[in-house]
Structure 1
Amino acid sequence: MKGPFLSQILTFVGVDSNNGIYPLAYAIVETENTDSWKWFLECLGDDLDMHANSNFKFISDKQKGLIPAIAHIFPCAEHRYCLRHIYENMRKVWRTTEYKEHLWNCAKATTIPEFETLMREFRSYDVEAYEWLINIPPHYWARSHFSGRQFQICCSIICVKFSTLIKKCIGPLTPTGERLLQANISSASQYTARWNGVGKYQVKGPWHDQHVVDMGQMTCSCRKWELTGMPCKHAITTINEMADNGEQVGELYTYVHKVYWLETWKSMYYFTVDPIKGRSMWPKSDYPTTLTPPPHHKQP
């Protein structure tokens, strides 16, 4: 912050059901260090009913003191690094577009064999860049190494724009959820499923793409259903095969995680923050203590 009392603003945002940035909390602290982050995370945990064993995921660009603070306050949480910041550090040395494509292809792979294949391609393209990237543990940035634990966060915020937009939406899913589902439905038309007799299906498509769908566990060996909460093209092919064989499968949207449901999006923006009156109408405090500005420390 600018001004006579230089401070830092710590912020915490999430993603709403329509893949939009969702402000959750902010705090003004004297400096950015482990103690400040611990205090901020403790307050955040109290407000959102998060406990030490909560299975949340935090994504950051490795700010000062944040990593040890998360490990101390939420030891069961998973920490991820922002891929955009990793790429910004990479492009300081390797500037061409091909490096970005290799990085993002490796990061988007959903299975470890696919990740290893793409990393070998990257190594054959540039050994030095590969060695730089492999020094960052893949469980921090590669989707193939992520667990399938899912979560959602809801809180109050004043937002008339989103409330108006939500009222115009129809259907069971948010616009983003519907778009993702329709894309998978379109891709599923090229695949066929074969039942093994005990709840599992072998799904085969073009380009030697073959995976196993377990409808009992609602998982696919491609891991996209598990990682995103959205049934992949292999799962949709399986559901269509089940319906063709006379099984009662229900509506397709019921296989989508509720984080994408329109009713979830509505509940996130249902409560609002009340407007307040001007300073001249604020009640005067009788509390004997006077709050003074924080001590001034000259920043480097």
Structure 2
Amino acid sequence: MLLSAVERDPNEQMYPLAWAVVEGENNNSWQWFISELKKCVPHNNGKEWIVISNEHQSILRAVQLELPKAEHRYCARHIYANWNKSFKGEEMKLLFLRCVKAYNLADFEEAISEMEDVTPVAVDAFKKCGPHLFCRSFVKIEEKCDVMEEALMKWKGLLCPKVQKTLDSEKEEVAKCTVIPSTSTRFQVVHYMDVLEVDIENRICTCRKWDLRGIPCCHGVASIFYLHKEVESYVDQCYTKEAYLRAYEGNINPCIGERHWPKN
């Protein structure tokens, strides 16, 4: 059985951390794997870590024992695979995703209400899965979690390309926002029929997109533009080109063929 651990790099791509071949996916194997992983990366018992996995009991046990301070979330795709067995169809899939992807509780409750109008039983099954473990609206905001190295070396921007693209899409929404200042750092922003509060000093917004991603939402961008400031400087440092290059400054040792392995 192949066990692996991956993370997201500053350009929102998957980055391999460690892998190992074990006799099977059981308690001993997962605990050994995570204990070895701890030797390779700073961990502080999981503080400031976010672990995302399926609901395999051996993984849950190993994380609890080896990284007790980590925030452990479930993979929504695995939750959906089980939930979908009883509630099929494209409409139910879209309702499920709307609940999962909602950034704040207001949007989450609206999505749940819409699902309940279609099939109340589906809502009961959804809630039994533990939405606080796999829905975005319940995620803690402290940690920001939504190219080849040579290509990034040539990149001239401050931010990684995918992050810059995400920020540019938020800039396009600014024309639909009306900004009303409260103080030099706090603003009321009207966006369509919604009214939100933005605090650019603490980098938060009622919609929670900025809080969770570390990338200003359109409401934050509108407020920053109101002050004639540079939006890119308000993006979390973890998304910078410098942070990306640091992530890849190490190397993976070459592997020689079996013919050259030491003989017992």
Where on the TM-score scale, by shorter chain, does this alignment land: which range? over 0.9
Report 1:194-213 matches (<5 A): 194-197=180-183, 199-206=185-192, 208-213=193-198
Amino acid at match of 1:73: E
Alpha-carbon shift at residue 84 of structure 1 (Å): 1.2
Q: TM-score, normalised by structure 2?
A: 0.92
The counterpart of 1:178, out of the listed 164, 167, 171, is 164
The counterpart of 2:234, out of the listed 246, 255, 259, is 255
Q: TM-score, normalised by structure 1?
A: 0.82
Report 1:46-125 matches (<5 A): 46-125=39-118
Alpha-carbon shift at residue 278 of structure 1 (Å): 5.2
Two-structure CA RMSD over aligned residues (Å): 2.0
- 3-state DSSP of counterpart to 1:52: helix
* 2:136 corresponds to 1:150: no
Structure with more of its chain in helix, by fraction: 2
Of residues 83-92 and 97-106 in structure 1, the stretch that sits farther from structure 2 once superposed is 83-92
Contact 1:56–1:151, Cα closer than 8 Å, also in 2 = no
Amino acid at match of 2:155: C
Over alpha carbons, which structure has the higher Rg? 1
**TM-superposition CA deviations, 1:47-95 (whole Å, max 9, x none):** 1011215221111111241112111211211111111112221222222
Which sections of structure 2, spanning at least 5 residues, go unmatched?
none
Task: Give distance in 1, aligned partners of 2:94 and 2:256.
Answer: 52
Task: Give distance in 2, aligned partners of 1:236 and 1:90.
Answer: 37
Identity of aligned residues (%): 30
Alpha-carbon shift at residue 260 of structure 1 (Å): 1.7
Counterpart of 1:221 in structure 2 is 206
Structure 1 residues 280 and 142, CA, compared in 2 at 3 Å: closer, same or farther?
Answer: closer
Task: Give distance in 1, aligned partners of 2:233 and 2:186.
Answer: 19
Structure 1 residues 151 and 115, CA, compared in 2 at 3 Å: closer, same or farther?
Answer: closer
- 3-state DSSP of counterpart to 1:210: strand
Structure 1 residues 274 and 39, CA, compared in 2 at 3 Å: closer, same or farther?
Answer: closer
Task: Give distance in 1, aligned partners of 2:161 and 2:73.
Answer: 27
Which sections of structure 1, spanning at least 5 residues, go unmatched?
1-7, 153-160, 244-248, 285-289, 291-300
Alpha-carbon shift at residue 239 of structure 1 (Å): 0.6
Alpha-carbon shift at residue 162 of structure 1 (Å): 1.2
Task: Give distance in 1, aligned partners of 2:252 and 2:64.
Answer: 32
Task: Give distance in 2, aligned partners of 1:277 and 1:83.
Answer: 39
